Amino acid sequence: MAEAEGHVAEPGDWFESLPIEAKHGDFLRRIADLLLTDAVFEGTKPLDVTGGSPVLRWCDPEDMASRLAEHRPSGDGRPATQEQLLAFVRFVVDYSVKTGHPHFFNQLFSSLDPYGLAGQWLTDALNPSVYTYEVAPVFTLMEEEILLSMRKLVFGDGHPSANGGDGIFCPGGSMANGCAINVARYKFAPEVKASGLHGLPRLVLFASEDAHYSIYKMAALQGLGEDGVFVVKTDPEGRMDVGHLESQIDSALAKGYAPFMVVATAGTTVLGAFDPLPKIFKVCERYGLWMHVDAAWGGGLLFSKKHRGLLAGIERADSVAWNPHKLLAVPQQCSTLLLRHGGLLSACHSRSASYLFQKDKFYDTSYDVGDKYLQCGRRVDALKFWMMWKAKGTIGLQKHVDKIMDNIKYFLGQVQRRASFKLVLENPAFANVCFWFVPPRLQGSQNSPEYWSEIHKVAPRIKEKMMKKGSLMVNYQPLRDWPNFFRFVLQNSGTNHKDMDFVLNEIEQLGKYM
């Protein structure tokens, strides 16, 4: 072993020179065992006499800080023992939310797919970074192929926009929306890449009031400002009001602004609504605007023959954001931006850094696709999706989506049957069921002036109880002038009727005396 200058050999140094298997094999195997048992098997089983686990073990932040402090890297600089590391891993597993648990319905992702997990592990074991073909030959081709397969689902198999289009993986749907704004703006005003917004009229885009909040963040980041997003009203079901879209565009034009883009949403985050894409396309065509479809949540429906009609019109989009980590239950994160236009991403984002993207390499450098991305080093998010797609087949992914939609119908029926639940939307289009729980003391008093302000307090209180008990996680929120309501969502096709009955029984139980 080469010794660094001034390094005095210590008795333990022979250990450092051992191969990883001899040195760390035992440790890694113990970690893998612990993860399989505690995080994967027990962590995705409801608590009962045979074992299982709560959804979470609630700890308030101060308490958590002191627990975590016990596992800090040692203050005296000494290394930890293997036993201390294993105790630390156990602590992390114990106090983390089990998002693969059948009673976790809090977010637009859930469940734990074994093939997806295997893909994650394989990715992490190889620790790749995809910018050039030379460091990521398998992953470069894998990414491009899976993006093409997704474009075929969006734009139609054999359609020139699938083969001639382009795509990128993004660190989340928010960033996918941000890249869409950047590319749409570049198409409208290519000079913006070199000169920024200097000298341009005020660029504005349009999105519905239920569009994802990332649109505003990304508009702010890109110098368009939050006010550069013109808000379009929705109808009572949460779909973009196309008449109002037109009048918003007209009013922007009347102010001398430069509209360049409409963001439609296919599956809104809270209500699960689908904006009327064919009508929005007509408006975009008439005004010459880029049509982006944020299908972060709804995109997975493209796998289902039965339900893909909800996305009719998506094939006319200029760009589509689609998160396989949501409806398709691919592990976090797996987000994409798909474009009908080839070459635009590269024109908009590339910087041709000469230390990375040398043009005189010995292989075809068109495979160095990294320069069309905004990031430099980049994690691989394709492998876990490829693995799941291969393992289940397109048929399996279709069944996954169809099962979710069947289950949602069951859940909706159960909510309708119970007097203590009231739906926000009577006929939800997608996998979101939004409802109020009405505790017995408030039942029948809809006409009292305090009714809605009292209802507003119910969901947060029930949420506190379910979290502290660790039995269930379901999200709540207000929306427009609706007081707080629960949003039940499904992405786990393993959810069964018993799990769904549990949700309603548990909420009734926890909210009985509120």
Ligand X SMILES: *Cc1c(COP(=O)(O)O)cnc(C)c1O
Peptide bond into 333 cis (omega under 30): yes
**Which is closer to ligand X, CB of 267 or CB of 470?**
267
Q: 228: which DSSP letter?
A: G
Q: Is 297 in the site for ligand X (CB under 6 A)?
A: yes
109 vs 437 by CB, closer to ligand X: 109
Smallest distance from ligand X to CB 336, Å: 10
The answer to whether the CB of 327 falls within 8 A of the CB of 491 is: yes
Stretch 205-234 residues interacting with ligand X (CB under 6 A): 212, 214
Cβ 294 vs Cβ 212: under 8 Å: yes
CB of 311 to ligand X, least distance (A): 13
**From 171-179, 428-436, 452-460, 498-506, span contacting ligand X (CB under 6 A):** 171-179
CA dihedral of 266, 270, 272, 273, whole degrees rounded to 10: -70
Q: Kindly tell me which residue out of 56, 108, 153, 242 binds ligand X, with binding defined by CB under 6 A.
A: 108
99 binds ligand X (CB under 6 A): no
**Nearest residue to ligand X, using CB?**
173
**Cβ proximity of 103 and 471 under 8 Å:** yes
Interacting residue with ligand X among 296, 458, 503, 507 (CB under 6 A): 296
Which residue's CB is nearer to ligand X, number 192 or number 311? 311
- For the packed helices 383-417 and 114-126, what is the interaxial angle rounded to 10 degrees? 150
Tell me how far, at minimum, the Cβ of 110 lies from ligand X, in Å: 13
**Does 374 contact ligand X by CB under 6 A?**
no
Cβ 107 to ligand X, closest distance in Å? 8
Q: What is the residue-wise DSSP string for 10-77?
A: -TTHHHHTS-HHHHHHHHHHHHHHHIIIIIIIGGGSB-BTTB-B-S-----HHHHHHHHHTTSPPTT-
Nearer to ligand X, 123 or 174 (CB): 174
Within 10 angstroms of residue 145's Cβ, the number of other Cβ atoms is 12
108 or 434, CB closer to ligand X?
Answer: 108
Which SS3 state, helix, strand or coil, does residue 474 take?
strand
Task: Give least dist CB 301 to ligand X, A.
Answer: 13
x-or-dash string of contact with ligand X, 266-285, rule CB under 6 A? --xx----------------
Q: Cβ of residue 300: shortest distance to ligand X, in angstroms?
A: 12
Single out the segment in contact with ligand X by CB under 6 A; choices: 120-128, 169-177, 189-197, 360-368.
Answer: 169-177
- 22-51 residues in contact with ligand X (CB under 6 A) are none
Cα–Cα distance measured from residue 273 to residue 234, given in angstroms and rounded to the nearest whole number = 10
- Please pick, from the candidates 166, 241, 294, 499, the single residue that binds ligand X as defined by CB under 6 A: 294
CB of 491 to ligand X, least distance (A): 11
Q: Which of 172, 396, 483, 494 binds ligand X (CB under 6 A)?
A: 172
17: left (phi over 0), alpha (psi -120 to 50) or beta: alpha
Binding piece for ligand X, criterion CB under 6 A, among 13-21, 131-139, 294-302, 411-419: 294-302
Q: How far is the CB of 473 from ligand X (least distance, A)?
A: 17
DSSP assignment of 360-409: T-SS-GGG-GGGGSS-SS----SHHHHHHHHHHHHHHHHHHHHHHHHHHH
Question: Among 48-56, 139-147, 156-164, 173-181, which window interacts with ligand X (CB under 6 A)?
Answer: 173-181
Min dist. Cβ of residue 298 to ligand X (A): 8
Residues forming beta bridges with residue 231, ordered by sequence position: 207
Nearest Cα residue to 35 out of 126, 121, 134, 116:
121
The identity of residue 269, as a single letter, is: T
Angle made by CA atoms 67, 68, 69, in degrees to the nearest 5: 90
Helix or strand holding residue 487 (H, E): strand 482-489
Which of these ranges, 26-34, 58-66, 262-270, 495-503, lies near ligand X under the rule CB under 6 A?
262-270
Contact segment (CB under 6 A) with ligand X among 166-174, 365-373, 405-413, 456-464 equals 166-174
Contact set for ligand X, span 321-350 (CB under 6 A):
323, 335
- CA-based nearest residue to 267, from 491, 28, 512, 31: 491
At residue 481, the 3 state secondary structure works out as coil
From residue 154, alpha-carbon distances to 157, 177, 301, 343 in Å are: 8, 16, 10, 18
Residue from 161, 265, 491, 495 touching ligand X (CB under 6 A): that is 265
Q: How far is the CB of 479 from ligand X (least distance, A)?
A: 14
Nearer to ligand X, 165 or 173 (CB): 173
Write out the residues near ligand X by the rule CB under 6 A: 108, 172-174, 177, 212, 214, 265, 268-269, 294, 296-297, 323, 335
